[in-house]
Structure 1
Amino acid sequence: MKNEEKAAEDKNKKPVSSKKQRRFERKLASGIPSATSDAFEKINYLHQAAALLSYQVPECPEFGRYYMYNVKQICQKMCLKVEPAVKHQSCKFCYTYFKPTENTSLKIREHGKRKFCEIKCLTCGKVKRYPLENISKKM
């Protein structure tokens, strides 16, 4: 008898969640989008626009750079982290959107036991190094 009552009580109880989680659930239930979801939507749009323009208008890479610069500015204003896949597709220094073999050179190097992927931006000449196992996990 007691087990049945406990089972009925457990079904009626909601799982305990954090204060932030409850606030987030209330915002979703009210239908009002949060500022961070708007920011992520804008970041996604700008990243896609930079990719599209860099491929369709190759003679004018400034458009793609401008959009990638805006992505960085939005993330800094809203205190958001950019996804690693987005970070790996643009130059940190000149904001150029990477296109394989056109404005980047890719090399795989070994340093001791670890392998690294080196991506060199041919626009500004800077090199980004990523551990090879991290790239395969994230992409």
Structure 2
Amino acid sequence: MAPSFHGVGVCKWFNVRMGFGFLSMTKREGVPLDEPVDVFVHQSKLHMEGFRSLKEGEAVEFTYKKSSKGLESQRVTGPGGIYCVGSERRPKAGGSDGIGGGCVRVQRSLLQLSYTKGTTSTCLPIGAEVGNFCHVLV
């Protein structure tokens, strides 16, 4: 098992729809770094209630480990171990841009993608199937 380390920094960016992003570490084991270092963060590692996300620039403390892919966070909190604040935007189902407002569907018989904006009657929860239609995110 890889040893874990303590870092302090801010959220560099976080993709709410995909549930991951990167932290910009500015201190390692309490020592300021000359240049910030990127650390991967997944929403499952965030210490907070409800929908888990981070806001760009949000101050964080975290434990992390070295992996074959780079540095990965293991537990992310706000300063002093408090809950993370999170972003204001929540993802909506559907919408090819990750913001919502539409529905992406695949017609299996034609294997054709179509985007139906504002057609709530054809939008179903992601993964739901009706007839030959399977609603997915792209």
Higher relative contact order (CA 8 A, sep 6+): 2
TM-score (norm 1): 0.20
TM-score (norm 2): 0.20
Q: Which has the larger radius of gyration?
A: 1
Give the number of the structure whose residues are more often strand, by fraction: 2
Give the number of the structure whose residues are more often helix, by fraction: 1
